């Protein structure tokens, strides 16, 4: 993963989180917006760990990527625990939370689409007809 791509995805996740908080506020008021805010924070934290690991693995800053993959597994377990605590113990608005955490999906899908492709200035070899 290139640093430019990861930065763009981070920007789109943040922007989508803000937009989804506004949508949740429109549908469910303050409690929904608070749930979406919590979901967007979880999405940003989740993306932050994914980004950190992906940049280390693709940048070859480590000799063994096994530990980083273990970290991703532990991150997933921690994510499930955080979501459970927020939804059951803190009683965050579940629909708002679901909308807010969707910012990660939007960022990963839309982020790469917003990058402009670099023009290839090298001449292409012509293929013979035949």
- Where are the domains positioned within the chain? 3-111
Which pLDDT value is given to residue 119? 40
DSSP letter at 114 equals G
Query: CA quadruple 75, 3, 100, 116: dihedral positive or negative?
Result: negative
Each residue's pLDDT tens digit, 2-46: 889 999 999 999 999 999 999 999 999 999 999 999 999 999 999
Please state the pTM of the whole predicted model. Answer: 0.81
Each residue's pLDDT tens digit, 75-117: 999 999 999 999 999 999 999 999 999 999 999 999 999 987 6
Contact in structure between 50 and 1 (CB atoms under 8 Å): no
CB-facing half-sphere around the CA of 102: CA atoms within 13 A: 14
């Amino acid at each position: 993963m290139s640093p430019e791509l990861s930065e763009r995805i981070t920007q789109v996740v943040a922007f989508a989180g803000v937009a989804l908080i506004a949508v949740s506020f429109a549908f469910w008021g303050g409690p929904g917006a608070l749930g979406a805010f919590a979901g967007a924070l979880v999405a940003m934290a989740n993306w932050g760990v994914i980004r950190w690991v992906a940049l280390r693995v693709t940048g070859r800053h480590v000799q063994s990527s096994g530990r980083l993959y273990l970290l991703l597994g532990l991150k997933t377990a921690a994510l499930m625990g955080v979501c459970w605590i927020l939804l059951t113990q803190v009683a965050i608005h579940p629909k708002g939370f679901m909308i807010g955490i969707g910012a990660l999906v939007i960022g990963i899908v839309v982020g790469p689409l917003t990058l402009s492709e670099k023009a290839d200035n090298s001449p292409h070899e012509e293929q013979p007809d035949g």
